[in-house]
Structure 1
């Protein structure tokens, strides 16, 4: 029994290789200059590539599902193997102890029977047998309880791996969405400024590629910006990565960038216990941030 418990408490760790982060990232398309973009006509190959970009998100999600299913199957296989081994060894020891108790009871009964009679010896033998069985049952119960704790710890380790996989998939989906749809940037801005009081002026700093995709501004976003301030300026930033979204107001700066929000979610999820109730996280929350120093006239 101690050897079995040692196997349960220290299961063999199978190394798990995550896909390199570079393989999850898509190649950033080179943005043409403003003069070239206006004069050049889109090539058929470029139109076909753009039409295939949304399918990349589907492939990424399918990959994540396969990885998650594999982790769950591995965990279930390990749990089932541990249970079966524990059951076999417990049954074997129970049979051995029963046979030993039966033999001891028989021998004791036979010896006592010579003196006090077969009936009394048989009763004492049965009592001893029952005591041994009760002791064995208690030992098996304690062993199964320890095995259950070890299984839960193994499952918790697998949950941590699935959390990391989910964050990686989320980063991939956000990256693909930013490249394929201008609505994502608009929703990020709308969520960040929702239900805020009017300000004297507002500056919104976006990556240059995102600022171009945002034009023309959708009517719902235009109405939300108009309700916030009469002086709203969108400032494109050439050096920032796609998904950058920093909103500056006279008394507040909001960093609603995709990378910042994903980093916040990663930190929060890492601190949440595996058995904690689910929480709803909201993208685009306000908070202190940096004030970009850009010399731009805006759009």
Structure 2
């Protein structure tokens, strides 16, 4: 039996991760009604997929000698890893049945698109073009992809805010991570000398808190990524900003989430009004990352469709 080639091994690792994510998906939706057992099952399957994705990226790194984000296939696999890692982190911080149901499809969809939709020419490992042979490759691209992962997960959670507890109002009511409950002041009495009573967050309120904090992290990463990209562009092309389609859409993406954070912090938006704005950011990120790349236009394009 012939040994697997490096390309075959990478593909096999990707398919193994995809299989686990496919198994995790029904368990994630089952967890909305079945309780903790299915949540633990889906989390374990996603953790396994995350490890396979890490092995895939490490194998590609060993094969090419550079950080594996140089083409669309590698960046999609890295995005899938980021989304699954973010999901695991959220489930560790604040277990919630809606989290795997909303975020598992992101990791699975990214990996499935990379494995089956992309032509073989975009999946193959290639040597870096001169402009990418820089230490900025790791700093800029990895941070940008991590920001996309966090922003997409945060926007997906915002969709959950729109779907959960639709008959109840959603308000910001404490707890830095939106888990458990909070205390409200009441009149002090004999059995309650502190004058505080405990209340519990609704599902939508917990999702709203998790969405807000995940998007905040993603926004900070996106800001760092844009700044580092400008520095790298000046080093590689002699210009800090050229209004390349990718740069323009990255700026639009930044403005959308900046508006979300601004309205929530300064205008008191929260709950479903802010969730609508956050959910719209999902579409903007997809256009910024997938749409611009696949049209094959601009300096940042990986080429396909119009650019092939």
TM-score normalised per structure 2: 0.29
Could you say which structure has the higher helix fraction?
Answer: 2
TM-score normalised per structure 1: 0.30
Q: Larger Rg: 1 or 2?
A: 1
